[in-house]
Amino acid sequence: MGKTYEIVPDGGVTSPKGFKAGGLHCGLKKTDRHDLGVIYCEVPAAAAAVYTTNLFQAAPLQVTRESLAEEGVLRAVLVNSGNANACTGRQGEDDARAMRSGIAEALGIPKHQVAVASTGVIGELLKMDRVHAGIAKLPERLSADERGSDDFCQAILTTDLVKKTACVRLTVDGREVVIAGAAKGSGMIHPNMATMLGFVTTDAAIPAPLLQELLRESTDVTFNMITVDGDTSTNDMLVAMASGLAGNKPLSRDHADFAAFADGLRYVCEVLAKAIARDGEGATKLIETTVVGAGSDEDARAIAKTIIGSSLVKSAAFGADANWGRIIAAVGRAGVSDIDVNTVDIRLGDISVLEQSRPVAFDEEAALAYLKGDTVAIHVDLNHGSGRAVAWGCDLTYDYVRINAAYRT
Protein backbone atom coordinates (compact mmCIF):
# COMPACT_ATOMS: atom_id res chain seq x y z
CA MET A 1 0.00 0.00 0.00
CA GLY A 2 1.43 3.38 -0.99
CA LYS A 3 1.33 6.30 1.36
CA THR A 4 -2.04 7.98 1.39
CA TYR A 5 -0.74 11.14 3.00
CA GLU A 6 1.81 13.79 2.20
CA ILE A 7 4.32 14.93 4.80
CA VAL A 8 4.22 18.65 5.64
CA PRO A 9 7.79 19.43 6.73
CA ASP A 10 7.12 22.70 8.56
CA GLY A 11 3.67 21.83 9.83
CA GLY A 12 2.63 21.95 13.47
CA VAL A 13 -0.39 21.85 15.75
CA THR A 14 -1.71 25.10 14.29
CA SER A 15 -1.60 23.83 10.72
CA PRO A 16 -5.07 22.22 10.75
CA LYS A 17 -7.88 24.73 10.25
CA GLY A 18 -9.28 26.27 13.40
CA PHE A 19 -6.31 25.93 15.73
CA LYS A 20 -4.16 28.51 17.44
CA ALA A 21 -1.46 27.96 20.00
CA GLY A 22 0.91 29.88 22.20
CA GLY A 23 3.39 29.64 25.01
CA LEU A 24 5.36 31.77 27.45
CA HIS A 25 7.59 31.69 30.51
CA CYS A 26 5.62 32.10 33.71
CA GLY A 27 8.28 31.05 36.19
CA LEU A 28 7.88 27.31 36.83
CA LYS A 29 11.20 26.44 35.20
CA LYS A 30 14.41 27.69 36.73
CA THR A 31 15.64 28.85 33.33
CA ASP A 32 13.83 31.47 31.27
CA ARG A 33 12.46 28.86 28.86
CA HIS A 34 8.74 28.67 28.14
CA ASP A 35 6.82 26.65 30.71
CA LEU A 36 3.16 27.36 30.01
CA GLY A 37 1.39 26.72 26.71
CA VAL A 38 -2.06 26.34 25.23
CA ILE A 39 -3.70 24.92 22.13
CA TYR A 40 -6.97 26.65 21.32
CA CYS A 41 -9.65 25.65 18.84
CA GLU A 42 -12.03 28.26 17.41
CA VAL A 43 -14.88 25.76 17.43
CA PRO A 44 -15.75 22.90 19.78
CA ALA A 45 -13.47 20.06 18.66
CA ALA A 46 -14.37 16.40 18.91
CA ALA A 47 -11.82 15.13 21.39
CA ALA A 48 -10.22 11.96 22.68
CA ALA A 49 -7.48 11.09 25.13
CA VAL A 50 -5.32 8.21 26.29
CA TYR A 51 -3.94 8.20 29.83
CA THR A 52 -1.14 6.55 31.79
CA THR A 53 -1.90 3.24 33.43
CA ASN A 54 0.16 4.21 36.47
CA LEU A 55 -1.97 3.88 39.61
CA PHE A 56 -0.68 7.19 40.89
CA GLN A 57 -2.29 9.43 38.29
CA ALA A 58 -1.44 13.10 38.48
CA ALA A 59 -4.17 15.60 39.26
CA PRO A 60 -4.43 17.10 35.73
CA LEU A 61 -5.36 13.69 34.33
CA GLN A 62 -8.35 13.44 36.64
CA VAL A 63 -9.49 16.90 35.63
CA THR A 64 -9.04 16.23 31.91
CA ARG A 65 -10.94 12.98 32.27
CA GLU A 66 -13.83 14.86 33.89
CA SER A 67 -13.84 17.43 31.09
CA LEU A 68 -13.97 14.84 28.35
CA ALA A 69 -16.67 12.86 30.14
CA GLU A 70 -19.07 15.79 29.85
CA GLU A 71 -19.56 15.89 26.07
CA GLY A 72 -16.36 14.63 24.41
CA VAL A 73 -15.52 18.08 23.18
CA LEU A 74 -12.55 20.38 23.82
CA ARG A 75 -11.81 23.99 22.97
CA ALA A 76 -8.43 24.18 24.67
CA VAL A 77 -5.57 22.25 26.27
CA LEU A 78 -3.46 24.05 28.86
CA VAL A 79 -0.05 22.58 29.61
CA ASN A 80 2.71 23.47 32.03
CA SER A 81 6.21 22.07 32.30
CA GLY A 82 8.61 22.21 35.25
CA ASN A 83 6.14 20.68 37.69
CA ALA A 84 4.13 17.49 37.21
CA ASN A 85 1.48 18.30 39.82
CA ALA A 86 1.65 14.62 40.82
CA CYS A 87 1.46 13.25 44.36
CA THR A 88 0.20 16.63 45.46
CA GLY A 89 -3.04 15.45 47.07
CA ARG A 90 -6.14 17.56 47.44
CA GLN A 91 -4.25 20.81 46.89
CA GLY A 92 -2.94 19.44 43.58
CA GLU A 93 -6.46 18.64 42.43
CA ASP A 94 -7.63 22.11 43.41
CA ASP A 95 -4.71 23.60 41.49
CA ALA A 96 -5.47 21.58 38.35
CA ARG A 97 -9.09 22.70 38.56
CA ALA A 98 -7.99 26.31 39.05
CA MET A 99 -5.81 26.03 35.92
CA ARG A 100 -8.82 24.77 34.01
CA SER A 101 -11.14 27.52 35.28
CA GLY A 102 -8.49 30.18 34.77
CA ILE A 103 -7.83 29.45 31.12
CA ALA A 104 -11.57 28.89 30.45
CA GLU A 105 -12.31 32.35 31.79
CA ALA A 106 -9.39 33.95 29.94
CA LEU A 107 -10.55 32.43 26.66
CA GLY A 108 -14.27 32.79 27.31
CA ILE A 109 -15.09 29.11 26.93
CA PRO A 110 -16.81 26.54 29.19
CA LYS A 111 -14.40 24.95 31.63
CA HIS A 112 -15.53 21.43 30.77
CA GLN A 113 -14.14 22.06 27.28
CA VAL A 114 -10.64 22.45 28.68
CA ALA A 115 -8.02 19.73 29.19
CA VAL A 116 -5.07 20.27 31.54
CA ALA A 117 -1.65 18.59 31.41
CA SER A 118 1.49 18.96 33.50
CA THR A 119 5.02 17.58 33.29
CA GLY A 120 8.10 17.94 35.43
CA VAL A 121 9.06 17.23 39.01
CA ILE A 122 6.77 15.04 41.11
CA GLY A 123 5.50 15.96 44.56
CA GLU A 124 5.84 19.71 44.62
CA LEU A 125 2.91 22.10 44.67
CA LEU A 126 2.51 24.41 41.69
CA LYS A 127 3.31 28.08 42.22
CA MET A 128 -0.22 29.06 41.30
CA ASP A 129 0.33 32.80 41.41
CA ARG A 130 2.82 32.41 38.57
CA VAL A 131 0.51 30.06 36.69
CA HIS A 132 -2.41 32.49 36.95
CA ALA A 133 -0.26 35.43 35.85
CA GLY A 134 0.84 33.36 32.87
CA ILE A 135 -2.69 32.29 31.99
CA ALA A 136 -3.80 35.92 31.93
CA LYS A 137 -1.21 36.68 29.24
CA LEU A 138 -1.79 33.54 27.13
CA PRO A 139 -4.77 34.71 25.01
CA GLU A 140 -2.77 37.57 23.51
CA ARG A 141 0.05 35.14 22.67
CA LEU A 142 -2.18 32.89 20.60
CA SER A 143 -1.19 32.58 16.98
CA ALA A 144 -2.43 30.45 14.10
CA ASP A 145 0.91 30.50 12.36
CA GLU A 146 4.20 28.74 12.93
CA ARG A 147 5.09 30.95 15.88
CA GLY A 148 2.12 29.70 17.87
CA SER A 149 3.01 26.11 17.26
CA ASP A 150 6.62 26.79 18.06
CA ASP A 151 5.91 28.61 21.32
CA PHE A 152 3.64 25.79 22.41
CA CYS A 153 6.24 23.15 21.59
CA GLN A 154 8.86 25.00 23.60
CA ALA A 155 6.52 25.32 26.56
CA ILE A 156 5.98 21.58 26.98
CA LEU A 157 9.64 20.55 27.01
CA THR A 158 11.53 19.53 30.16
CA THR A 159 14.90 17.86 29.59
CA ASP A 160 14.07 17.37 25.91
CA LEU A 161 16.75 18.69 23.61
CA VAL A 162 14.60 19.16 20.54
CA LYS A 163 11.01 20.05 19.74
CA LYS A 164 8.91 17.19 18.45
CA THR A 165 6.33 17.88 15.81
CA ALA A 166 4.77 16.07 12.90
CA CYS A 167 2.29 17.03 10.23
CA VAL A 168 0.65 15.34 7.27
CA ARG A 169 -1.86 16.34 4.62
CA LEU A 170 -4.32 14.01 2.93
CA THR A 171 -7.58 14.07 1.06
CA VAL A 172 -10.95 13.12 2.51
CA ASP A 173 -14.02 13.57 0.31
CA GLY A 174 -11.89 15.67 -2.00
CA ARG A 175 -11.17 18.08 0.86
CA GLU A 176 -7.71 18.71 2.23
CA VAL A 177 -7.38 17.34 5.75
CA VAL A 178 -4.39 18.13 7.95
CA ILE A 179 -3.26 16.08 10.94
CA ALA A 180 -0.53 17.48 13.18
CA GLY A 181 1.01 16.67 16.50
CA ALA A 182 3.40 17.85 19.16
CA ALA A 183 4.98 15.86 21.95
CA LYS A 184 7.49 15.96 24.75
CA GLY A 185 9.24 13.05 26.28
CA SER A 186 12.91 12.64 26.87
CA GLY A 187 12.30 11.39 30.36
CA MET A 188 14.36 8.36 29.79
CA ILE A 189 14.95 5.23 27.87
CA HIS A 190 11.66 3.92 29.04
CA PRO A 191 9.62 6.94 30.05
CA ASN A 192 8.50 6.17 33.55
CA MET A 193 8.53 9.45 35.30
CA ALA A 194 6.17 12.31 34.67
CA THR A 195 7.28 12.28 31.13
CA MET A 196 5.32 11.88 27.99
CA LEU A 197 2.74 14.31 26.71
CA GLY A 198 1.33 14.27 23.20
CA PHE A 199 -1.15 16.52 21.41
CA VAL A 200 -2.77 15.85 18.08
CA THR A 201 -4.82 18.36 16.12
CA THR A 202 -6.76 17.83 12.91
CA ASP A 203 -9.37 19.68 10.95
CA ALA A 204 -11.06 16.47 9.86
CA ALA A 205 -14.66 15.92 10.82
CA ILE A 206 -14.72 12.79 12.92
CA PRO A 207 -17.01 11.79 15.77
CA ALA A 208 -15.33 11.76 19.18
CA PRO A 209 -15.94 8.03 19.85
CA LEU A 210 -14.27 7.04 16.59
CA LEU A 211 -11.41 9.47 17.24
CA GLN A 212 -10.99 7.77 20.62
CA GLU A 213 -10.82 4.32 19.01
CA LEU A 214 -8.31 5.46 16.41
CA LEU A 215 -6.18 7.23 18.98
CA ARG A 216 -6.01 4.07 21.07
CA GLU A 217 -5.14 1.94 18.05
CA SER A 218 -2.42 4.36 16.94
CA THR A 219 -1.04 4.59 20.47
CA ASP A 220 -0.72 0.81 20.74
CA VAL A 221 1.68 0.63 17.80
CA THR A 222 3.54 3.91 18.37
CA PHE A 223 3.72 5.57 21.80
CA ASN A 224 3.21 2.29 23.61
CA MET A 225 6.10 0.77 21.67
CA ILE A 226 8.61 3.16 23.17
CA THR A 227 7.78 2.04 26.66
CA VAL A 228 8.95 -1.07 28.41
CA ASP A 229 7.38 -3.36 30.98
CA GLY A 230 4.27 -1.21 30.95
CA ASP A 231 6.46 1.58 32.29
CA THR A 232 4.31 4.65 32.41
CA SER A 233 4.63 7.84 34.34
CA THR A 234 2.05 9.43 36.59
CA ASN A 235 1.40 12.08 33.93
CA ASP A 236 1.54 10.42 30.50
CA MET A 237 -1.29 11.68 28.37
CA LEU A 238 -2.12 11.99 24.71
CA VAL A 239 -4.94 14.32 23.68
CA ALA A 240 -6.49 14.66 20.21
CA MET A 241 -8.77 17.41 18.95
CA ALA A 242 -10.63 17.44 15.62
CA SER A 243 -12.10 20.79 14.56
CA GLY A 244 -14.08 19.42 11.62
CA LEU A 245 -13.33 22.61 9.67
CA ALA A 246 -11.95 20.68 6.69
CA GLY A 247 -15.58 20.21 5.77
CA ASN A 248 -15.42 16.51 4.95
CA LYS A 249 -18.36 14.19 5.52
CA PRO A 250 -17.76 12.91 9.08
CA LEU A 251 -15.44 9.93 9.05
CA SER A 252 -16.67 6.45 9.87
CA ARG A 253 -15.09 3.03 9.46
CA ASP A 254 -17.09 2.64 6.23
CA HIS A 255 -15.88 5.94 4.81
CA ALA A 256 -13.83 5.51 1.62
CA ASP A 257 -11.01 7.63 3.05
CA PHE A 258 -11.05 6.15 6.54
CA ALA A 259 -7.92 4.08 5.98
CA ALA A 260 -6.06 7.12 4.66
CA PHE A 261 -6.96 9.14 7.74
CA ALA A 262 -6.08 6.31 10.11
CA ASP A 263 -2.78 5.86 8.32
CA GLY A 264 -1.98 9.57 8.56
CA LEU A 265 -2.81 9.63 12.24
CA ARG A 266 -0.65 6.59 12.88
CA TYR A 267 2.19 8.20 10.98
CA VAL A 268 1.98 11.42 13.02
CA CYS A 269 2.01 9.38 16.25
CA GLU A 270 4.91 7.27 15.00
CA VAL A 271 7.03 10.31 14.10
CA LEU A 272 6.44 11.77 17.54
CA ALA A 273 7.10 8.46 19.30
CA LYS A 274 10.37 7.92 17.43
CA ALA A 275 11.39 11.51 18.13
CA ILE A 276 10.83 10.90 21.83
CA ALA A 277 12.93 7.73 21.69
CA ARG A 278 15.74 9.39 19.75
CA ASP A 279 15.78 12.33 22.15
CA GLY A 280 15.83 10.09 25.23
CA GLU A 281 17.95 11.51 27.99
CA GLY A 282 21.59 11.28 27.06
CA ALA A 283 20.82 9.35 23.87
CA THR A 284 23.19 9.41 20.94
CA LYS A 285 21.12 7.19 18.67
CA LEU A 286 17.73 5.71 17.88
CA ILE A 287 17.33 1.96 18.20
CA GLU A 288 14.55 0.39 16.16
CA THR A 289 13.75 -3.22 16.95
CA THR A 290 11.64 -5.20 14.51
CA VAL A 291 10.41 -8.65 15.53
CA VAL A 292 8.80 -10.88 12.93
CA GLY A 293 7.84 -14.54 12.76
CA ALA A 294 6.37 -14.59 16.27
CA GLY A 295 3.36 -16.66 17.23
CA SER A 296 1.27 -13.50 17.53
CA ASP A 297 1.61 -9.72 17.30
CA GLU A 298 1.30 -9.64 21.07
CA ASP A 299 4.27 -12.00 21.46
CA ALA A 300 6.25 -9.91 18.98
CA ARG A 301 5.46 -6.76 20.95
CA ALA A 302 6.59 -8.31 24.22
CA ILE A 303 9.88 -9.43 22.71
CA ALA A 304 10.54 -6.15 20.88
CA LYS A 305 9.92 -4.18 24.06
CA THR A 306 12.11 -6.47 26.16
CA ILE A 307 15.00 -6.02 23.74
CA ILE A 308 14.58 -2.27 23.52
CA GLY A 309 14.36 -2.06 27.30
CA SER A 310 17.49 -4.05 28.07
CA SER A 311 20.20 -1.90 29.65
CA LEU A 312 22.74 -4.33 28.25
CA VAL A 313 21.50 -3.99 24.68
CA LYS A 314 21.36 -0.22 25.10
CA SER A 315 24.87 -0.03 26.53
CA ALA A 316 26.19 -2.20 23.72
CA ALA A 317 24.52 0.10 21.18
CA PHE A 318 26.23 3.09 22.80
CA GLY A 319 29.55 1.29 22.52
CA ALA A 320 28.83 0.11 18.95
CA ASP A 321 29.36 -3.44 20.20
CA ALA A 322 27.66 -6.13 18.08
CA ASN A 323 26.68 -8.06 21.22
CA TRP A 324 23.88 -10.22 19.85
CA GLY A 325 24.15 -12.49 22.91
CA ARG A 326 22.33 -9.83 24.88
CA ILE A 327 19.62 -9.68 22.24
CA ILE A 328 18.96 -13.41 22.31
CA ALA A 329 19.06 -13.37 26.12
CA ALA A 330 16.36 -10.70 26.03
CA VAL A 331 14.28 -12.77 23.61
CA GLY A 332 14.52 -15.68 26.03
CA ARG A 333 13.31 -13.76 29.05
CA ALA A 334 10.51 -11.79 27.41
CA GLY A 335 7.87 -14.00 28.96
CA VAL A 336 6.93 -15.50 25.62
CA SER A 337 6.95 -19.30 25.64
CA ASP A 338 5.63 -19.92 22.14
CA ILE A 339 8.95 -19.76 20.33
CA ASP A 340 11.35 -22.30 18.90
CA VAL A 341 14.74 -21.77 20.53
CA ASN A 342 16.48 -23.29 17.51
CA THR A 343 15.17 -21.07 14.70
CA VAL A 344 16.04 -17.51 15.65
CA ASP A 345 17.70 -15.16 13.15
CA ILE A 346 19.15 -11.80 14.19
CA ARG A 347 20.36 -8.99 11.95
CA LEU A 348 21.92 -5.66 12.86
CA GLY A 349 20.92 -3.50 9.92
CA ASP A 350 21.79 -5.73 6.97
CA ILE A 351 24.45 -7.66 8.86
CA SER A 352 23.38 -11.16 9.80
CA VAL A 353 24.81 -12.18 13.19
CA LEU A 354 22.66 -15.18 14.15
CA GLU A 355 20.95 -17.72 11.92
CA GLN A 356 18.84 -20.57 13.22
CA SER A 357 20.02 -19.61 16.72
CA ARG A 358 23.66 -20.09 15.78
CA PRO A 359 26.33 -17.38 15.53
CA VAL A 360 27.30 -16.34 12.02
CA ALA A 361 30.78 -15.10 11.22
CA PHE A 362 30.41 -11.45 10.26
CA ASP A 363 32.63 -8.53 9.33
CA GLU A 364 33.39 -6.82 12.67
CA GLU A 365 34.59 -3.66 10.91
CA ALA A 366 31.38 -3.34 8.96
CA ALA A 367 29.33 -3.99 12.10
CA LEU A 368 31.26 -1.34 14.02
CA ALA A 369 30.75 1.18 11.23
CA TYR A 370 27.04 0.43 11.15
CA LEU A 371 26.58 0.57 14.91
CA LYS A 372 28.33 3.93 15.09
CA GLY A 373 25.54 5.46 13.02
CA ASP A 374 22.73 7.52 14.51
CA THR A 375 20.14 4.79 13.95
CA VAL A 376 20.55 1.12 14.77
CA ALA A 377 18.02 -1.34 13.42
CA ILE A 378 17.75 -4.70 15.19
CA HIS A 379 15.83 -7.34 13.25
CA VAL A 380 14.73 -10.55 14.96
CA ASP A 381 13.01 -13.28 12.96
CA LEU A 382 11.66 -16.11 15.09
CA ASN A 383 10.70 -18.11 11.99
CA HIS A 384 7.77 -19.47 13.91
CA GLY A 385 4.59 -17.59 12.98
CA SER A 386 3.31 -14.39 11.43
CA GLY A 387 3.26 -12.08 14.45
CA ARG A 388 5.25 -8.87 14.09
CA ALA A 389 5.96 -5.63 15.94
CA VAL A 390 8.30 -2.66 15.92
CA ALA A 391 9.61 -0.89 19.02
CA TRP A 392 11.85 2.14 19.44
CA GLY A 393 14.36 3.15 22.06
CA CYS A 394 17.77 4.72 22.47
CA ASP A 395 21.18 3.89 23.78
CA LEU A 396 22.26 4.05 27.43
CA THR A 397 25.04 6.58 27.87
CA TYR A 398 27.18 8.40 30.40
CA ASP A 399 24.97 11.43 29.91
CA TYR A 400 21.88 9.46 30.86
CA VAL A 401 23.46 8.66 34.20
CA ARG A 402 24.70 12.22 34.65
CA ILE A 403 21.28 13.71 33.97
CA ASN A 404 19.42 11.30 36.21
CA ALA A 405 21.92 11.31 39.04
CA ALA A 406 20.77 14.82 39.87
CA TYR A 407 17.48 15.48 38.14
CA ARG A 408 15.67 16.87 41.14
CA THR A 409 18.45 18.85 42.80
CB of 98 to its own copies, least distance (A): 19
Q: Which residues contact 336 (CB under 8 A, 6 or more apart)?
A: 294, 295, 299, 302, 303
Q: Is 3 in the site for its own copies (CB under 8 A)?
A: no
Residues 14, 195, 219, 227: which is the catalytic one?
195
Subset of residues 360 to 389 that bind its own copies, contact rule: CB under 8 A: 364
Which of 15/310 has CB closer to its own copies?
Answer: 310
Q: Show the 3-state SS of the chain.
A: CCCCCEECCCCCCCCCCCEEEEEECCCCCCCCCCCEEEEEEEEEEEEEEEECCCCCCCHHHHHHHHHHHHHCEEEEEEEEEEECCCCCHHHHHHHHHHHHHHHHHHHCCCHHHEEEEEEEECCCCCCHHHHHHHHHHHHHHCECCHHHHHHHHHHCCCCCCCCEEEEEEEEECCEEEEEEEEEECCCCCCCCCCCCEEEEEECCCCCHHHHHHHHHHHHHHCHHHHCCCCCCCCCCEEEEEECCCCCCCCCCCCCCCHHHHHHHHHHHHHHHHHHHHHCCCCCCCEEEEEEEEECCHHHHHHHHHHHHHCHHHHHHHHCCCCCHHHHHHHHHCCCCCCCCCCCCEEEECCEEEEECCEECCCCHHHHHHHHCCCEEEEEEECCCCCEEEEEEEECCCHHHHHHHHCCCC
Residue from 87, 133, 136, 221 that binds its own copies (CB under 8 A)?
A: 87
Q: Using CB under 8 A, count the residues that bind its own copies.
A: 66
Residue from 321, 343, 349, 385 that binds its own copies (CB under 8 A)?
A: 321
- One character per residue 279-308, x = contact with its own copies (rule: CB under 8 A): ------------------------------
CB of 293 to its own copies, least distance (A): 15
Residue from 337, 350, 361, 374 that binds its own copies (CB under 8 A)?
A: 337
Was 184 annotated as part of a binding site?
Answer: yes
- One character per residue 15-54, x = contact with its own copies (rule: CB under 8 A): --------------------------------------xx
Which of 45/122 has CB closer to its own copies?
Answer: 122
Residue from 325, 362, 377, 385 that binds its own copies (CB under 8 A)?
A: 325
Which of 259/341 has CB closer to its own copies?
Answer: 341
* Catalytic residue check, 195: yes
Among the listed ranges 140-148, 160-168, 185-193, 245-253, the one in contact with its own copies (CB under 8 A) is 185-193
Which of 46/228 has CB closer to its own copies?
Answer: 228
Residue from 357, 362, 377, 385 that binds its own copies (CB under 8 A)?
A: 357
Catalytic residue numbers, as ranges = 195
Give me the residues that bind its own copies (CB under 8 A), please: 53-56, 84, 86-89, 121-124, 188-190, 192-194, 229-234, 310-312, 315-316, 318-319, 321-326, 328-333, 335, 337, 339, 341, 354, 357-359, 364, 396-398, 400-409
